[in-house]
C-alpha cells in the first residue's frame, strides 16, 4: 500500500511538472484550484530552478528593503510588507491607507557596499495599494490556531508579493478550503499543497 501511495504521488507531481509553461501563472507556482468567494486558492510549487547568478546591483535594494521593513513595522496599520522585484531591480512598498501612501512613497536613503565599494543610494519605492496591512497579516500569524490546527497543516508564512498568508498542507479537501475562507477570507489565505511534508518528517524521525 505504501508503494502504491508513493507511485501515485510521483505521478501527480510529474503531471504538474509537465504542464505547459503558460499554466504557471506566477513564477514557480501553479494554481490547482483558484479562489472562489467561499473557498481559498490551492496551488503547488513548480520544481525548483537554479538561482540566478549574484548581481551586485541588488545590494542597495537589500539595504532599502530593510529600511522599508522597519518603516512598515513602525506603521503596521497603514503599510503592508515591502518586497523586491527584479529585471530591473525595484522596491515595492504597498500601502492600505491614504496616510500609508505618503509614508510608502518617501525615498529611502543609505549606503551599501557592493563588492566592498561604498555606494550611497536614494531609492524611491513603487507604491501600490493593497487590502491587507502588516497588522492584519501578523494578527493571523499570531492568532490562536483555530482552523490552522488541522493536522494536515504544518506551516504558514506571509507572502509579501501576494499580500496574503500562505498555509502549507500535505492534504487538502473542499471542507478545508471552505473553512479557511469562512474564517479568514478567500483573499487573505491560500493553500500550498505539499504531499511530501509529513512523510519527510516521519522519515527523518525514523532515521534517528
pLDDT digits (tens, 9 = 90+) for 96-108: 999 999 999 999 9
Q: In this structure, are strands 189-193 and 41-45 parallel, antiparallel, or unpaired?
A: parallel
Q: Which three cell numbers, joined as nine digits, stand for 68?
A: 522599508
Query: In the structure, what pLDDT confidence band is assigned to residue 145 with cuts at 50, 70 and 90?
Result: low
pLDDT for 172 beyond 60: yes
Say yes or no: 163 and 192 in one domain: yes
Q: Which three cell numbers, joined as nine digits, stand for 52?
A: 540566478
Q: Which domain holds residue 94?
A: 58-123
* Coarse DSSP helix, strand, coil percentages of the chain, rounded to the nearest 5 percent: 40, 25, 35
Say yes or no: 153 and 186 in one domain: yes
Say yes or no: 166 and 203 in one domain: yes
Q: What is the DSSP string of 149-207?
A: G-TTEEEEEEETTTTEEEEEES---HHHHHHHHHHH-TTTEEEEE-TTHHHHHHHHHHH
Domain contains 201: yes
Domain contains 196: yes
Average pLDDT, stretch 43-52? Answer: 72
Q: So what's the pLDDT on residue 12?
A: 45
Question: How far, in Å, CA of 64 to CA of 84, rounded?
Answer: 10
Say yes or no: 160 and 199 in one domain: yes
Say yes or no: 115 and 62 in one domain: yes
> H/E element holding 143?
none
Domain contains 138: no
Say yes or no: 162 and 198 in one domain: yes
pLDDT digits (tens, 9 = 90+) for 65-114: 999 999 999 999 999 999 999 989 999 999 999 999 999 999 999 999 99
Q: So what's the pLDDT on residue 51?
A: 65
Domain count, the chain: 2
Amino acid at each position: 500500500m505504501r508503494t502504491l501511495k508513493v507511485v501515485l504521488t510521483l505521478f501527480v507531481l510529474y503531471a504538474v511538472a509537465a504542464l505547459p509553461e503558460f499554466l504557471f501563472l506566477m513564477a514557480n507556482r501553479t494554481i490547482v484550484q483558484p479562489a472562489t468567494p467561499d473557498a481559498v486558492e490551492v496551488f503547488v510549487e513548480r520544481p525548483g530552478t537554479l538561482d540566478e547568478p549574484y548581481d551586485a546591483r541588488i545590494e542597495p535594494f537589500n539595504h532599502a528593503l530593510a529600511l522599508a521593513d522597519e518603516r512598515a513595522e513602525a506603521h503596521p496599520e497603514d503599510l503592508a510588507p515591502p518586497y523586491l522585484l527584479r529585471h530591473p531591480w525595484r522596491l515595492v512598498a504597498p500601502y492600505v491607507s491614504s496616510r500609508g501612501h505618503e509614508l510608502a512613497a518617501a525615498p529611502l536613503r543609505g549606503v551599501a557596499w557592493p563588492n566592498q565599494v561604498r555606494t550611497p543610494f536614494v531609492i524611491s519605492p513603487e507604491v501600490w495599494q493593497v487590502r491587507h496591512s502588516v497588522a492584519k497579516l501578523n494578527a493571523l500569524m499570531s492568532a490562536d490556531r483555530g482552523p490552522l490546527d488541522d493536522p494536515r497543516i504544518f506551516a504558514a508564512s506571509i507572502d509579501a508579493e501576494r499580500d496574503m498568508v500562505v498555509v502549507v498542507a500535505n492534504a487538502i479537501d473542499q471542507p478545508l478550503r471552505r473553512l479557511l475562507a469562512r474564517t479568514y477570507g478567500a483573499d487573505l489565505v491560500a493553500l500550498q499543497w505539499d504531499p511530501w511534508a509529513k512523510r519527510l518528517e516521519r522519515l527523518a524521525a525514523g532515521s534517528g
